[in-house]
Structure 1
Amino acid sequence: MKSRTQTALRVDPRRPWVRSPGGLKRIVLGEDGGRRDAPPAANMAAAKPLRSAGPFDGRVLVVAHAERGQLDEAAREAIAAAALLAGPREEVLAVLFGMDGCADAELAELALDRALTLADPGFAPEAKLALLRRLWRQETPRHILFADRGDDADLGRRFACRERLSVLTDIVEIAADGARRRRPGAGFSVHAPAETLLLARGVADARLPFVGLGRRQAGEAEAAAERVRDLGSVVSPASQLALEEADLILAAGNGVSDVPAFLRLAATMGAAVGASRVAVDDGRFRREQQVGATGRSVQASAYLALGISGAVQHLQGIKACRHVIAVNLDAAAPMVKRADLSVIDDCQSFIHALQALLEREGKEARS
């Protein structure tokens, strides 16, 4: 028998390539078209479908308060629950206090079909109740939803009492045929859906697979005589706040070696102090300052992570934070990838530079 010799196929190193959506060069075998650009649509996320185009013959109403023009995660979850609860012929209607400057696209992304946006009048329960009572009679929604925390919880309870509506609080699961609520010391109980629903955290995923019509309607709070006079609020020192309540958190990881300078910077900024598990285990910070799945879950407006690599458990604890800023020497650290803004630098140098800047600006402001 004759032996047949086969020549191994070689891969041409100069064969054509394209740039992938992720920006990397991807070799395409078997093509001879040379270098070409990827289609523009390849870099764009797929458009979400519209939940319902109407016409609507019913409504689900949701009420939320924004802080500095932004909704927190609890409010977003309440809006998502309203969108999931609404049927195809039901409009998702919202009353948003403190969102008077939002865009229609933002409302659509929240899966809202229509939103009444107005400036927050502050602690003015009677004015807000007058507005909600008028909308309740005018729009006749099937349910009215509130997040069961803060101003939303207070307003929801007041509204249910004033209108003598059925109400369920601390709801952890909701469907068209029933609601599951948490009972202190007694597990859970299942009820028929009430007219007023106050929702616990985690009741719905705010990342919905669809969008709403996003129509915005400007409004004003009703004129009403208040029974309580608002004397303003007193800001507690950050050191006295629980991490879950802090709006600004300065967190240290294994990369922070000058702890006194770090604490001095936190005091100058008026920030609460957080830490990674490694920094806590080393004894540099207290256990109650630990952030993460095995510590505290926080939802600050700004979270500054200094020298924190970003373990999965730590990232889980900051997923509700609005803005994350990372300072790290490792540009490939998971925290840097998670952050909205990253500074690739030594933490000690950053701490001293920021401290000097704040002190200089403080002197200029006082002079």
Structure 2
Amino acid sequence: MTRPRRDPRAERASIQVAGEARPRFDRTARRTGSGRPRRDPRAERAGQRVAAEARPRYDLSQTVRFDAAVITEAQPKAAAAASPKILVLDDPAFLVAVVPDAPGGRLSSHDRQVLGAARALAGREGGVAILTLGACEGVGPAGADRWLPLDAVEGYDPATQAARVAAALTALAPRHILFPESLDGGDLARRVAVRMGEPLFTNAEVVAANGLVRPAKGRRVEQRIAPGLLSTVAPDAVAEYGGPPREARPLPVEAEAPTQGSKRIVSAARVPADPATVPLALAEFVASAGNGITDLDTFRQVVAALRATPGASRVLCDAGLMPRHTQVGASGTVLAATCYFALGISGAPQHLQGVAGCEHVVAVNTDLHAAMIERAGLAIVQDAQAVMPALLKLLVQEAQGTGDETA
């Protein structure tokens, strides 16, 4: 054997610290055998600690070096966020049009799913064109190559809206047109189908280039058809587009203005439901209290001021402080809300399962490392008991129009 035999006694004597009454050894010194330094976990941990923090925090992403006796304490530089590359499709072979609901000028989760279905139909050679009534945000990241904004219709006039959309689609001449199968999108799709004189395949749950599939006869059978001109996509059936952002180039299309007929609907208004009585499964905005909330009266005032639907964690429901029907989680109600406001909730696994379908999560908790803080898109690391009065004060000031933000 050419490998030298280790002498543990000689190695131990080489790292002994001289001039000490009690034998002490320098474990960070190089060994005479392999030359590999011995790890010092305490020094490594000290090198990862973030300076100027009252509570010990550690940067675990820092690179650990074993070739030095002490790890450097220099903080890592913030990596510059690379701007995502925008895909540009100059000359698509054909277009797949999408007419979203876009409530409030922003795409809903259902709208983004329809755009994902359009990308499946477009493939590599086709492009996706989105047609919106008025301005809309985030159409490029959602997967649109072209964007055709139309003037919004004043008031509630579905006949004029359908005529305007049908004229624009006729001028655009796409291969396929997709609508969301929703309350407004489904009604618009049927009106456009009547005006264009084309068949409509509704409630498609599978969208692919080789065919569309929907359930029928109480979901006992499936109906399959080749992709036609007009189709609606069922909610939560197709995945959203997850690729890089697209160009969303504005598309100038000169559509023939529809003739204005007599307006049959004189007046129409959408009456919102009382958020205090809306079931949690149907609520759009839910504010929940957890074990960190002791003043439930202030919590109810916050819920009323925000016009949210009240919810609670299992701890409060088991204690009888909140009704059982307000429990959020896998053992309570699974939410599909647009926004979820968690006050004093740490985030047990069952509770996180209940808010997995929420689009936006706002959390208030004193624990920086709580699971709910990590899940939240906006986190406030503070005591919820102190946040609630400040939030109520800001809401009152906003209602009065004072503009004072000293709270």
| Global fold match (TM > 0.5) | yes
C-alpha distance after superposition, 1:73-132 (max 9, x if no partner):
1111111111122132222011123435x4xxx332111110112454352222222222
Q: In structure 1, list runs of 5 or more residues that go unmatched.
A: none
Residue in 2 that maps onto 1:197: 231
Residue in 2 that maps onto 1:237: 274
Tell me the SS of whatever aligns to 1:279.
helix
Cα distance, 1:108–1:38 mapped onto 2, change above 3 Å: farther
Count of residues in correspondence between the two structures: 353
Residue in 2 that maps onto 1:158: 191
Cα distance, 1:351–1:162 mapped onto 2, change above 3 Å: same
1:65–1:151 contact (8 Å) kept in structure 2: yes
Comparing 317-326 with 56-65, which one deviates more in the overlay?
317-326
What is the alpha-carbon root mean square deviation over aligned residues? 3.6
Q: Are residues 1:123 and 2:156 paired?
A: yes
1:65–1:98 contact (8 Å) kept in structure 2: no
Q: Are residues 1:298 and 2:298 paired?
A: no
Q: Distance in 2 between matches of 1:362 and 1:5?
A: 81
Q: Distance in 2 between matches of 1:145 and 1:283?
A: 48
Cα distance, 1:186–1:49 mapped onto 2, change above 3 Å: same
Residue in 2 that maps onto 1:80: 116
Instruction: State how 1:97-108 maps to structure 2 within 5 Å.
Output: 97-100=133-136, 102=137, 106-108=138-140
1:297–1:316 contact (8 Å) kept in structure 2: no
Instruction: State how 1:128-143 maps to structure 2 within 5 Å.
Output: 128-143=161-176
Tell me the SS of whatever aligns to 2:205.
strand
Residue in 1 that maps onto 2:7: 5
Amino acid at match of 1:296: V
Cα distance, 1:308–1:187 mapped onto 2, change above 3 Å: farther
Q: Distance in 1 between matches of 2:151 and 2:351?
A: 35
Q: Are residues 1:144 and 2:177 paired?
A: yes
Residue in 2 that maps onto 1:170: 203
State the TM-score, normalizing by the size of structure 1: 0.81
Tell me the SS of whatever aligns to 2:242.
coil
Amino acid at match of 1:114: R
Q: Distance in 1 between matches of 2:96 and 2:216?
A: 25
Amino acid at match of 1:242: P
1:172–1:199 contact (8 Å) kept in structure 2: yes
Stretches (4+) displaced over 6 A: 12-15, 34-40, 218-221
Q: Are residues 1:206 and 2:243 paired?
A: no
Question: Shift in Å at residue 259 of structure 1?
Answer: 2.5
Comparing 289-298 with 63-72, which one deviates more in the overlay?
289-298
Q: Return the match for 2:130 from 94, 99, 110.
A: 94
Cα distance, 1:126–1:3 mapped onto 2, change above 3 Å: closer
> More relative contact order in 1 or in 2 (CA 8 Å, sep 6+)?
1
2:84–2:245 contact (8 Å) kept in structure 1: no
Instruction: State how 1:1-367 maps to structure 2 within 5 Å.
Output: 4-5=6-7, 7=11, 8=31, 9-11=36-38, 24-29=61-66, 43-44=80-81, 47=84, 50=87, 53-100=89-136, 102=137, 106-118=138-150, 120-121=152-153, 122-183=155-216, 185-192=218-225, 193-217=227-251, 224-225=260-261, 226-294=263-331, 295-300=333-338, 302-359=339-396, 362=399
Q: Distance in 1 between matches of 2:355 and 2:160?
A: 35
State the TM-score, normalizing by the size of structure 2: 0.74
Tell me the SS of whatever aligns to 2:272.
coil
- Higher percent of residues as strand: 1
Amino acid at match of 1:278: V
Cα distance, 1:5–1:86 mapped onto 2, change above 3 Å: same
Cα distance, 1:176–1:67 mapped onto 2, change above 3 Å: same
Q: Percent identity?
A: 30
Q: Distance in 1 between matches of 2:325 and 2:198?
A: 41
Q: Distance in 2 between matches of 1:270 and 1:35?
A: 49
1:66–1:98 contact (8 Å) kept in structure 2: no
Cα distance, 1:280–1:112 mapped onto 2, change above 3 Å: same
Q: Distance in 2 between matches of 1:168 and 1:216?
A: 28
Tell me the SS of whatever aligns to 2:99.
strand
